[in-house]
Structure 1
Amino acid sequence: MTPTASIVFSGVAGWLSGARAADNASGPADAIARQNMLQLIHLRWIAVLGQVLTILAVHFSLGFKLPLAPMMLVLIGLVVLNLCSLLRLKRATPLGRYDLCLALALDTLALTAQLYLSGGATNPFTTLYLLHVILGAVLLEAWATWAIVALTSFCFILLVAFNRPIVATGLSDQAFFDMFLMGMLVGIVLDAVLLVTFVDRINANLRRHDARLAELRQRAAEETHIVRMGLLASGAAHELGTPLATLDVILGDWRRMPIFADQPDLLQELEDMRGEVQRCKTIVTGVLQSAGEARGGEVRASTLRAFLDEVVADWRATRGGEALTYETDLIAPTPIVAESTLKQVIHNVLDNALDASRQAGSGGARLWAGVRENRLLIEVEDDGPGFTDETLENFGKPYNSTKGRAGGGLGLFLVVNVLRKLGGRASAENLAEGGARVVLDLPLSSLEIGAPRG
C-alpha cells in the first residue's frame, strides 16, 4: 500500500470509527452522550459485519435457504443509519434526550426484520433482544428504557404471530435441533461478550465524566480561594498605603538630621531603608493598579519581545540587580496585550528560582522564551536542590512548598491558575545536572488584542 493510500485509508477508518466525536461537545453531559452514541455506532458496525458473515455461512454452507436480497437491504439500512449517526456527531448541536432512544429503537426494528426473514421466533438469535434491553437500562432514562422493553416485547409477539419458518434442505430433525442448540449457545455467548465489552466502555465513559466533574469542582474551589486572596491582597494594599507613606516621611526627615549626616554608614543604611520602603510602595501600587485594570477591563498594547524585555527589566530593577541569564529567539514583532497577571506570574517563578539558587549558594537563575507552533514557551531554571517527589506530584496545589514556611506554596498555585485561565499550563521537572526547570506554556491567541481575558 502506497503512503498516500495508507493516509487515505486511515483517514476514512478514523471517520467511520467516529474518532474525536466528543470534540464538538457543548459540555460534560453532551460529551458523555456522544461517547455513548459512539459505542452504539461501534456495536452496529460489529453487527453488520457479523450478520454478513453469518448470513453467507448459513445460506451457502449449512443448507438453509435465506432471502438474501431483503436481508442485505436491511444491512444497507444499518450502514446508512451509522453514517447518519456519524454525521450527527460531527454537528455541534447537543444530543437530545431522544437521540439514543431512537438509535436503540431502530436497531431493535432492524434485528426484528432480520429475525423475521430467517426463522422468526424460532431463530436462536432472538436472545439478542436482551442486548438492546440491557443497553437501554444502562444508557437511557427510566421512561426510555421501558419504551425499549415495550418495543422488544411487541416485536417478539409479532414474530410469534407472523412466524415465517426457515427452509432447510438435507437436514434431519435431530440435526436441525442440534444446530438450533448450537445457535442458542452462540447467541448467549455473543450476548455476554458484547455486554461485558460495551457496558465496560460505557462505565469508563461515566467514570471519565465523574472525574471531569470532580476536576471542575476543584477548579471552582481554587478560583473561590483565589478571589478571597485577591480581596485580602487588595484590602491589605489599601491598609499598608498609610503606614508606608508615614515611614517614608519619617526616614526623609531623619536623612536631614545632623547625626546621620555626620555618620556615612548610618546614612547609607538609612538610604537602604528608604529604598526598601519605596519598593514596598511600588508593590502596593502595582496591586491596586492590577485590581483596577481587572475591574475596568483596560488593556495596554505591546509586542511579545518588548513585553518580555520589560518583565525581565522590572524584575532585575526590583531585585537589586540579581544575576539572571535571559535568552530569547523572538525576532518578529508579535502584537499582544501586556497582560499584568502574566507579568506577575513570571516574577513569581523567577523569585522561586532565585530563592532555590540561593540555597545552593549560586544565587542565579536562567530564563528562556520562544514561540513554538503558535504557543509561547517560557522556561525558568535554577541551580537549587530541585523539587521533592511530593512537590512534583502536587505541583500547583496551594501550600505545597519545599521552603517549610507557613502559608508557602501560594506562588506556584497562582501561577498554575492564572495560566489555566489564559488557556495555558505550567509544568515542573528536576534537571539531570541538578536544579529544576519550570515551563510556562500558553497559546499566543490568549494574548492577542481583542482576546477574552480570563
Structure 2
Amino acid sequence: MRDAHAINLSWLLRLRWGAIVGQVALVLGVHFGLGMEQRLGPLFATIAVAAASNGALGLWARREHPIREGLLWSVMALDVVVLTVLLDLSGGPFNPFSALYVVHIALAAVVLRAGWTWALAGLAVSCFGALFVDSSPQHHIHDMRLHLEGMWVAFALAAGFIVYFVQRVTRALGVREAELVAARAASARHEKLTALATLAAGAAHELSTPLSTIAVVARELERHLARTGAEASPLEDVRLIREQVARCRDILTQMASDAGASQGESMVPLSAAALVEEALAGLPGRERVRAEVDARAREARELVPAHAFARAIRGVVKNALQASGEEGRVRLELVREPEGWRLTVEDAGAGMPAEVLARAGEPFFTTKAPGEGMGLGLFLTRAVLDQLGGRLVLRSAPGEGTTVVLTWPAGGLRQSAALPAGASRVQLAP
C-alpha cells in the first residue's frame, strides 16, 4: 500500500502545481483580460498558502517518510478549503469554477478508500453550501451569458483534469503491478533454482554410493562372463547396465553443476564479446552459427557470472542448432542499446505451437528426444538473467522458427571506455 500511496502522492503534487499555475493565470486573465476587477491581494495570498503547502509536502516526501492515507485526505481537504476561499473572493456560488469541486471528489474516489472519499465529499458539499450562506448581492453575476460560458469552460477543465489524472494514476499503478508480478515470478524461479540445486546435490550424494556399487559389480560380472566364455547376449546386457549407470551419474553431475553455477558463482569483469566467444568455443556445429557482434562489445568490461552466463548462452545456441537440423544455420546478434545489451539467437527450425511456447522455460520441460536434454537450459538462462536484472523473451510460431532474445543492463565494473555510437560490427569467424 505504501507504493500505491507514494504514486498517488507524486501525481497529486504535480496536479497541485498545475492547479496553482492555472489559478494565477485565471485570476490575472479575468482581472486584466476581461476587465473584471478582482481582489488580487487576498486571492494571491490564498494561492500562496496552497503553493507553500505543496512545496513543504514535496520536501517531506523526498525524505521517504511513511505515507498514510490520512495524509492524502488532509492534502485534498486543504485543496477543497482553498478552492472555497477562492470562490468566495471571486463571485461566491455564482462563480462557474465551482464545478471544480467535482475534480476533488473524483480524485478522492481514485486514491482513497470509501470512508475517506465520503468524508471529503461531505466536506466539499459543506464548503459549497457555505458559499450560499455568505453570498451577498454584490457577488451576483448579472451577465447570465458570461456565467453560462464560464460554466462550460469550468466543466471542460474539470473533465480534462479528471480524465488526465485518473489515466496517469491508473497507468502508473499498472506499471507497478507489472513490476510486482515480474518480481514475484523471479522470486519463484529463484526458489525453484534453489530447490533444484538442493535436490541435485542431495541426489548426487545419496545415489553416488549405490551407483558406484552397481558399476563395480557390473564390471566384475562382465569380466567373469568373459573368462567363462559366456554368450554375447549376457555380456551386452551387462555393458548396457554399465552404460546406463554412467549416464545416471552424468545427469546428476550436470544438474548439480548447472544449478550450482547459477546459484553461487562470483562476478568477474568480462566483455560481452568474450562472453559470446567463450559460449561458442568448441560447440558442435559452431560452423553453422553466423555471429554478428557490435564492436563496442569488445571494449567495455562488466561484472558478470562468466561461467554460468557462458553456459546459458551456449545452451540457447545449442537448442537453436538442434532445432535447425543438420544443415540449417543459426544467426546470433549482439548489439549495444541505450539501456544495455541485447543478444538475439534465431534458428531455422520448425517453430513451436502456442501451447509449447507457453511452457518453454519450465524446469524439466523439453520436447527433445530422450538423452538430448533435460529441459533446464532456458530455465537456468532466465535465472542468470534475473541475477543481472535482465530478461529472456521467446518468439516462435509453427513454420517460422524460434527467436530467443536475451537482454541485460550495462553496468558493473568497466575497465575500458566504450567506442562512440555508430561503431561498426565485426564478424566472428566460425
| Equivalent position amino acid for 1:439 in 2 | V
Alignment of 1:411-426 (within 5 A): 411-426=377-392
Pair 1:324-2:286 in alignment? yes
Greater shift in the superposed pair: 145-154 or 127-136 = 145-154
Q: Which position in structure 1 is the counterpart of 2:38?
A: 66
CA contact (8 A) 2:334 2:341 kept: yes
Pair 1:114-2:86 in alignment? yes
2:161 & 2:337 partners in 1: Cα distance? 45
Deviation string 1:248-299 (CA, Å, 9 cap, x unpaired) is 4356557867959x9xx9999999997886575355335446667788x674
Q: Normalization by structure 2: what TM-score?
A: 0.68
Secondary structure class of the residue paired with 2:392? strand
Identity across the alignment (%):
34
Q: 1:234 to 1:370 in 2, by over 3 A?
A: farther
2:116 & 2:302 partners in 1: Cα distance? 54
Q: 1:300 to 1:395 in 2, by over 3 A?
A: closer
Deviation string 1:39-85 (CA, Å, 9 cap, x unpaired) is 43443355345434543454346553211233234445545555555
Deviation string 1:384-425 (CA, Å, 9 cap, x unpaired) is 3344466556654568766598x9855323422342233111
Q: Which position in structure 2 is the counterpart of 1:281?
A: 249
Q: 1:219 to 1:376 in 2, by over 3 A?
A: closer
Q: CA deviation at 1:100?
A: 2.0
Secondary structure class of the residue paired with 1:125? helix
Q: Which position in structure 2 is the counterpart of 1:442?
A: 408
Q: CA deviation at 1:221?
A: 4.7
Secondary structure class of the residue paired with 1:129? helix
- Select the residue among 95, 98, 104 that pairs with 2:76: 104
| Equivalent position amino acid for 1:123 in 2 | N
Alignment of 1:47-446 (within 5 A): 47-60=19-32, 64-82=36-54, 92-93=64-65, 95-142=67-114, 144-149=116-121, 151-153=123-125, 155-156=127-128, 158-163=130-135, 166=138, 175-188=142-155, 190-246=157-213, 248-249=215-216, 253=220, 281-288=249-256, 299=266, 303=270, 312=280, 316=282, 322-325=284-287, 331=298, 334=301, 336=303, 338=305, 341-357=308-324, 360-362=325-327, 375=340, 378-388=343-353, 396=361, 403=368, 410-429=376-395, 436-443=402-409, 445=411
Greater shift in the superposed pair: 266-275 or 394-403 = 266-275
CA contact (8 A) 2:93 2:135 kept: yes
1:189 & 1:300 partners in 2: Cα distance? 57
1:284 & 1:223 partners in 2: Cα distance? 20
CA contact (8 A) 1:118 1:165 kept: no
Q: 1:446 to 1:410 in 2, by over 3 A?
A: farther
Q: CA deviation at 1:118?
A: 0.7
1:208 & 1:333 partners in 2: Cα distance? 31
Q: Normalization by structure 1: what TM-score?
A: 0.65
1:434 & 1:253 partners in 2: Cα distance? 53
Deviation string 1:212-244 (CA, Å, 9 cap, x unpaired) is 554455455555544554444344433542354
In structure 1, stretches of 5+ residues that fail to align are 1-28, 449-454
RCO higher in structure (CA 8 A, sep ≥6): 2
2:328 & 2:151 partners in 1: Cα distance? 77
Q: CA deviation at 1:342?
A: 3.2
Q: How many residues align?
A: 401
Q: 1:306 to 1:246 in 2, by over 3 A?
A: farther
Q: 1:214 to 1:345 in 2, by over 3 A?
A: same
Deviation string 1:98-144 (CA, Å, 9 cap, x unpaired) is 44223212322321221121123443433322332332233124554
CA contact (8 A) 2:321 2:329 kept: yes
2:202 & 2:102 partners in 1: Cα distance? 65
CA contact (8 A) 2:46 2:82 kept: yes
1:377 & 1:47 partners in 2: Cα distance? 43
Q: Which position in structure 2 is the counterpart of 1:452?
A: none
Q: 1:49 to 1:306 in 2, by over 3 A?
A: closer
2:314 & 2:239 partners in 1: Cα distance? 25
Cα RMSD (Å): 5.0
1:419 & 1:294 partners in 2: Cα distance? 10
CA contact (8 A) 1:116 1:164 kept: no
Q: Which position in structure 1 is the counterpart of 2:418?
A: none
Q: 1:302 to 1:135 in 2, by over 3 A?
A: closer
2:241 & 2:333 partners in 1: Cα distance? 33
Secondary structure class of the residue paired with 1:362? coil
1:445 & 1:83 partners in 2: Cα distance? 35
Secondary structure class of the residue paired with 1:64? coil
CA contact (8 A) 1:426 1:439 kept: yes
Q: 1:147 to 1:256 in 2, by over 3 A?
A: same
